[in-house]
Structure 1
Amino acid sequence: MNSTGNTYLVIGASGKSGARVYHKLSEMGLKAKAAHRHGEVHFDWRAPETWAKSLSGIDAVYLTYYPDLAIPEAPEDIAKFCALAKIKGVKHITLLSGRGEPAAQVCEEIIKTSGLSWTIVRASWFNQNFSEGMFRDFIQVGTIALPVGDMTEPFIDVDDICDVVVASLTDEKHSGKLYEVTGPELLSFAQLADVFTRVLGRSVNFIQISQSQFINTLEHSGVEPKAIEMLAYLFTEVLDGRNEYIVNGVEQALGRPATSFESFVLKNAHLFKGEAQ
């Protein structure tokens, strides 16, 4: 792919990884279009009539699916989108997928057999769920309260995901590659709390709560029902030990190690302390 002449569509450009990918492509002087429900390009997974128009004149797509590839509608949506992209002349799709989700891997297979150039970035849980996601309040109040025990996860910095995605969109050597990306260490939520305590210099604790308590908290916070359903699925099924291993996908793609959780907290300490950027 000749990246300088391409036009890139970033689906989910208001999300954690999408916003970073859109801004990085733009900073590189490349032509990127931001697609989401209220974006420069109007795109809504629940409104298929928005898909075709968004793909006009597009060479490569960064594809994120909302709320998650594990929902029942996802495979059909991904298949229809790929067919449409091919008709519209899209050359390449990079898909953001999730580790340990069989339903997400069904969607990966759809991408692989689409007839398009593809890259799959299969990611572990995001560090940024704590800095700009729904868990940020936990750090502000000093208590991480979740329905999980001592299970560990190799949390990944979304900045690393962004770098892998941008590389895949702009260099054809990443075509046909599946990069499973994780952070460099396995951490339990209690260990995460210890990292926050040490780096921020104030107490952050972890407590295990019941699934029903967690769901009630999300409902009272106004979280969308589909998002609550997905979080319940992730905490009951995906966080069962299946992902308790580290993979070096970041290093495979970029030739450098993934960012540690402590480095992430240090880099974003101003957010956790409530300071302006």
Structure 2
Amino acid sequence: MTAILLGGAGRTGSRIHDRLRRAGRPVSYASRRTGFDWDDPSTWTPAITSATALYVCYSPDLACPGVAEKMAALGRAALSAGVERLVLLSGRGEQGARASEDALRDAGVPTAVLRCSWFQQNFSEHFLAGPVRRGRLRLPAPDVREAFVDLDDVADAAVVALTGERPDDATYELSGPELLTFADAAAVLASAMGRPVTFEPATVTDFVADLALDGIPSDEAEPLAHLFTEILDGRNASITEGVERMLQRPPSTFAAYAQRAAAAGAWA
């Protein structure tokens, strides 16, 4: 099995890469740095020719206009290149991503789709790290519950899908083991850090201004605000069995993640 990770050394890709390398599995990245360009289909086949398994992580989002067409073309390229299995990172509850999932599968390569809840690591490795460090989560989020999922669980699940004895053509919804509001999450983070962290409902304008303190421009912050206002409507306020089905163990709790991140100095 030779795995190629489309999407570069992102938060999931880097974790998957490390796990496969430690297991002695051949693995490499494909990104603009290595000559793979999502906007230039002529670069796709040369980048994946040696792969028997592909991990697909598309940024910024599978629901963006034109992405389904790219996924359809990638599926055909993978089939022609002899790729035996695909693993696609998708979003739980994102109806706009379903067309991209279906399009990738249309070529006939077995495809494991990992639909994920909000990542726990968004609070330490992504756009919420700055607000947590400042002790105030100012978010355009309603008081709904979310089953935040650990990126390490997602990476473990992706490795299983990439290396299983048989290619898996199934969809897995991955979540954490508990439902938490952002106020609940703030309390857990405060306990792990040993200092106050609060949650405050905010307007999109206030949210964008807060992220600007961390150097995140408005053209990146506004789509993130869209995720809060559209996806966080209660549609994902349920716990799934995807992690346990794939890994034969319970998913990691938010408190365990927060304690690890604090000990590693994520918010120092």
Q: Which residue does the alignment assign to 2:14?
A: 19
Within 5 A, what are the aligned runs for 1:192-207?
Answer: 192-207=185-200
Aligned identity (percent) is 37
Q: Which residue does the alignment assign to 1:44?
A: 37
* Structure 1 residue 13, shift from structure 2 partner: 3.0
Q: Say which SS state the counterpart of residue 253 (structure 1) adopts.
A: helix
In structure 2, relative to structure 1, the CA distance for the partners of 1:128 and 1:174 (3 Å cut) is farther
Unpaired runs of 5+ residues, structure 1, are 1-5
Aligned partners of 1:146 and 1:208 also within 8 Å: yes
Q: Which amino acid aligns with 2:109?
A: L
Unpaired runs of 5+ residues, structure 2, are none
Q: Which residue does the alignment assign to 1:138?
A: 131
Paired residues in the alignment total 266
* Structure 1 residue 42, shift from structure 2 partner: 2.7
CA–CA separation in structure 1 for the residues paired with 2:197 and 2:221: 24
Within the alignment, does 1:29 sit opposite 2:20 as a pair?
Answer: no
Within 5 A, what are the aligned runs for 1:220-259?
Answer: 221-223=215-217, 225=219, 227-259=220-252
In structure 2, relative to structure 1, the CA distance for the partners of 1:229 and 1:49 (3 Å cut) is farther
Q: Which residue does the alignment assign to 1:190?
A: 183
Q: Which amino acid aligns with 1:232?
A: A
In structure 2, relative to structure 1, the CA distance for the partners of 1:216 and 1:142 (3 Å cut) is closer
- Decide which of 105, 115, 122 is 2:115's aligned counterpart: 122
Q: Which amino acid aligns with 1:126?
A: F
* Structure 1 residue 91, shift from structure 2 partner: 1.0
CA–CA separation in structure 2 for the residues paired with 1:63 and 1:115: 16
Q: Which amino acid aligns with 1:97?
A: S
Q: Say which SS state the counterpart of residue 271 (structure 1) adopts.
A: coil
Q: Which amino acid aligns with 1:191?
A: D
Within 5 A, what are the aligned runs for 1:159-174?
Answer: 159-173=152-166
Q: Say which SS state the counterpart of residue 272 (structure 1) adopts.
A: coil
Q: Which residue does the alignment assign to 2:88?
A: 95
Partner deviation per Cα, 1:81-130 (whole Å, 9 max, x = no partner): 11111111111100001011111111122233321011111100001111
* Structure 1 residue 236, shift from structure 2 partner: 1.5
Q: Which amino acid aligns with 2:45?
A: A
Q: Which residue does the alignment assign to 1:71?
A: 64
Q: Say which SS state the counterpart of residue 236 (structure 2) adopts.
A: coil
Indicate the RMSD between aligned Cα atoms, in angstroms. Answer: 1.6
Q: Say which SS state the counterpart of residue 33 (structure 1) adopts.
A: strand
* Structure 1 residue 46, shift from structure 2 partner: 2.6
- Decide which of 253, 272, 276 is 2:266's aligned counterpart: 272
Q: Which residue does the alignment assign to 1:9?
A: 4
In structure 2, relative to structure 1, the CA distance for the partners of 1:14 and 1:103 (3 Å cut) is same
TM-score, normalised relative to structure 1: 0.91
Aligned partners of 1:138 and 1:145 also within 8 Å: yes
CA–CA separation in structure 1 for the residues paired with 2:181 and 2:32: 35
Aligned partners of 2:190 and 2:196 also within 8 Å: yes
* Structure 1 residue 215, shift from structure 2 partner: 2.9
Aligned partners of 2:124 and 2:267 also within 8 Å: no
TM-score, normalised relative to structure 2: 0.94
CA–CA separation in structure 2 for the residues paired with 1:247 and 1:149: 21
Aligned partners of 2:130 and 2:211 also within 8 Å: no
Partner deviation per Cα, 1:233-262 (whole Å, 9 max, x = no partner): 211211111111110100011110000000
Q: Which residue does the alignment assign to 1:3?
A: none
